[in-house]
Structures are given as structure tokens and as C-alpha cells.
Structure 1
Amino acid sequence: MKTMIFLAMNLLLAWATYGQDGQFENGMAKGLALLEEAERTRDFGPAAALFERISEAEPQRWQPAYHLAYCHMMLAGEAMEEKEGGALSAHLDKAQAALDRALALAPQESEIVALQGYVYTGRIWKAPMVNGAKYSPKASAAYAKAIELNDENPRAYHLMGMHLFYTPSFFGGGAEAALPYLEKAAARFDAGKKTGEYGPVWGAFFNQELLQQAKQATE
């Protein structure tokens, strides 16, 4: 409860500050702080609300729209785990809407293209048997394009590895297929390169978990 109150107070303060001075830098700093907190608490609602406000105030910047889309992907994942189909679809739609704005601004940005693949993967969550054939190739193509656009982007390799890890082996997936991508992602996460001052930094922890599982499965 105290954590929720703390996050809500931070959100209100961030809104007030952004509304007063209109500084993109201040708003993003507060948004990224909320996002970092959300990675621990798994409550992405406050961060999503702030990034939505920033993206509306700064429509020429792709970063807030990207982070907004990422927040909704995390919320979609939680809805999937709770078997809340309506909420899952709603968050996927909101993620896509935000990502469409980011793609319009920077269509060749590897981070955005990789996250588009993640949204396609999210569509599979809703109904794997129905949506897998449609969205799995789209996700793979997006991840491959993201890697082509920026070979140093760890999230592009991580998401491709995750996609393959959870794809049945008879469809070309499995731990063995995923392992090289997860290893390359780990090396790039270790290198610590960032996509600009306000670019994403997520993925390293879960990639390490998947990498260990893939290694164990292929021993």
C-alpha cells in the first residue's frame, strides 16, 4: 500500500512539473524513474499514464511513445497471466497505437521495430492456435529487421531468442534455436550501449534467465 501511495505521489508530482515548465528532459527523467520502479513492483500503470501525457505534449519525439507502448506490453503480459482476455486485447491495442506514432517518427529505429515484433508476439498470447500462424512470421520478420538495422541492439536479439524459445521445435523454435540469439543478446547487454539518452534499457535480467534455461535444455 505504501508503495502504491509513493508511486501515485511521484506521478502527480511528475505531471505537475511537466505541466509547469514543459521540459521534455524533466518529464522523461521522471517517467524513466517510474519505469525503473515498475520493473521492481510490476505496476506499470503510473509510468504508462505519465508517458502518455509526455507523448501527447511532445508528439515529435519517438521515445515517450515507445516507452508508453512498452508499458502496455508489460500490462498485457500481466493480463495474460491473469487470463483476462479483454484487458489483454485492450493493452495490446494501446501498445500498437503508441507504437504506430513512434514508427511514423522513426521507421528505421531498431528499438521500435523490435518492439513491433513484441506486439505481434503478444497477439499470439490471446489465442495461440488461431493467431500463431498469422503473427509468428510477422514477429520473426520484425526481429530480423531490427537486428539488420542495428546489430548492437540487445533487445532485438533477446526478443528473437524469447520468441524462438517459446515456439515449438517442430515449427523451427525451441531452446537450441533460441540459444545463439540469447547469447548474442547477453554479450550486447554486457557491453552496456544505450540507444540515446532516453532509450530503453530493459531486458537484461529476463534474457539471463532464458539463457540459463536454454543452456540447461541443450546440455
Structure 2
Amino acid sequence: MKQLLLAAAIVCTVAAQAQSDKYTAAMQQQLQKFDSAKTVADYENIAAAFQRIGDAEKTQWLPYYWQGIALSRIGWMYFPDEKGVTAVKVSDLGSTVDALAARINAIADKADAVAKDNEAKSEILTVRNMAATQQMIVDPQSRYMSYGAQAADDLQKAIQLNPNNPRAAYLQAMSVYGTPEQFGGGKDAAKPLVQKAVELAKAEQVKPLHPRWSLEQSEKVWATYQ
């Protein structure tokens, strides 16, 4: 009887390890694709893959987190870049960004439902912050009181849950950076926050599959002060 129980335990352990290895391999594959993605189609495909992984695993928040991040990258592509290039018509910007934000927040809900610690929940809130920020900058004058306030609330909660979150620090710095000087923002006001974001990112001990972006972004902004 003891031998049967031992054999069953070994089988279960091996099966669990195999499932874990499969999950890790699938996540690593999509993260590699994420790092080289360039188009809306690229990010949509990656987001769909992360969703499949999350739905299959059911207890992992990271697939949904990365799905949200992939979609948020699409959101930034909707706005004209320095060359005036955008993925959507200006007339469709508001409705398109709002629809994307709804998708991102639904994904964040799924991630939050299985997240077990403050660090994870802090990361999820940064995804919500970016969705609300994108909604706000469609028309800051008319949308600040709603989406701007939501973005600020999400960011404040993210920092409270994990004061050492480099991504929350970066987003806070960018929020101040993009705020007009007459309202307490601007490049000079953001400088200590940008420096903090760089320092936190450099000090971070990144775990496999976990969020690891923000250092490159923070250093790029910090370089403008040098």
C-alpha cells in the first residue's frame, strides 16, 4: 500500500513539473516575441497567446498581465508619433481607445482575481493606469476629471502596495513630466522622480517571467537631463 501511495505521489510530482515546464516555455516564447513586436498585429497575436496561456493555467496572473501590457502598447500606437503616424483615424481615436481600455481592464480583473500578493497587484494597477491615461489624453481638457482622476488613483494605489515598483515610479515620473508647469508639473518637477525610477529599476532583482520593463524607458528620459 505504501509503495502504491509513493508511486502515485511520484507520478503527480512529475506531472506537475511537466505542466510547470510547459507553462514556463510557453511564456518565454511569447516574451521573446513581445520584445521584437512592432505592429498592432504583432501585439494582438501576442496578447491572444498570453490569454490562451492564462485561461489554460487558471491560477497564474502573469499571462493576463502581459496580455494587458501588449494591448497597452497598441494603445500608444493609436496616438500620432513624432512623424504623425498613427494606427487609427483621428476621428476614431476616442472610441477606439475606450474600447481597448475596456478590454485591458477586463483582463486586469482576471489577473487581479488570481494575484496573491501586493507586488502582483501593484503591477496590475500600472496596467490599469496606462489604460486610463490613454483614455485621458484623447482629450485632456474634457477627460481629465474622469479618466485622469482614475489614472492618478490607480497609480497611487500601485505605489502604496509596492513603493519599490520601478514601473509605477516611471509612470509617476511621466505623469508629472507631461503635466503643465502651471499645474505643478513639467520636466524640472519630474527630474527627481525620473532619477528615482532609474535607481529602482537598476536595483530590481527581476524574477523569471515577471515584469521587467521600465529601465530602458527611464534611462531614455533621464538622458534628456544630462
TM-score, structure 1 normalization: 0.79
Which 4+ runs in 1 deviate beyond 4 A? none
The offset of 1:80, in angstroms, is 2.1
- Shift in Å, 1:110: 1.6
Identity %: 28
Work out whether residues 76 and 89 of structure 1, in 8 Å CA contact, stay in contact via their aligned partners in 2: no
- Alpha-carbon displacement from aligned partner over 1:103-161 (angstroms, at most 9, x marks no partner): 22227322112222222211112222211122223222322222222222110100011
Which runs of structure 2 are paired with 1:87-106 in the superposition (5 Å)?
87-106=96-115
Match of 1:204 in 2: 215
Q: Secondary structure at the match of 1:53?
A: helix
Is the contact made by 1:124 and 1:136 (CA closer than 8 Å) also made in structure 2?
yes
Instruction: Give runs of aligned pairs for residues 19-168 of structure 1, distance below 5 A.
Output: 23-38=22-37, 41-42=38-39, 43-81=42-80, 82=86, 83=90, 84-85=92-93, 86-106=95-115, 108=118, 109-168=121-180
CA contact 2:62–2:111 (8 Å) conserved in 1: yes
Looking at structure 1, the residues matched to 143 and 58 of structure 2 have their Cα atoms a distance apart, in angstroms, of: 32
Asked if the contact 1:80–1:88 (Cα under 8 Å) also holds between the matched residues in 2, the reply is: no
Which runs of 5 or more structure 1 residues have no equivalent in the other structure?
1-20
Range with greater deviation from structure 2 (55-64 or 70-79): 55-64
- Rounded to whole Å, the distance in 1 between the matches of 2:149 and 2:195 is 22
Q: SS of the counterpart of 1:151?
A: coil
Which residue of structure 1 aligns with residue 181 of structure 2? 169
The Cα shift of 1:34 comes to 1.1
**TM-score normalised according to structure 2 size:** 0.76
Deviations 1:9-39 (A, max 9, x none): xxxxxxxxxxxx793212111111111122x
**Counterpart amino acid of residue 80 in structure 1:** F
Given that 2:198 and 2:219 are in contact with CA atoms closer than 8 Å, whether structure 1 keeps it comes out as yes
Matching residue within 170, 188, 194 for 2:200:
188
How many residues in Structure 1 have an aligned counterpart in Structure 2? 192
Q: Which runs of 5+ in 2 are unaligned?
A: 1-18, 81-85
RMSD: 2.1
Equivalent residue of 2:32, what SS?
helix
Q: Which amino acid letter does the alignment assign opposite residue 200 of structure 1?
A: P
- Following superposition, the deviation at residue 180 of structure 1 comes to 1.6
> 1-side partners of 2:106 and 2:31: how far apart?
20
Counterpart in the other structure of 2:7: none
Structure 2: how far apart are the matches of 1:59 and 1:131? 35
Partner letter of residue 122 of structure 1?
Q
Larger CA Rg, structure 1 vs 2: 2
User: In the alignment, which residue of structure 2 is the partner of 1:18?
Assistant: none
Counterpart code for 1:177: A
User: Which has the larger displacement, 22-31 or 72-81?
Assistant: 22-31
CA drift at 1:102: 1.2
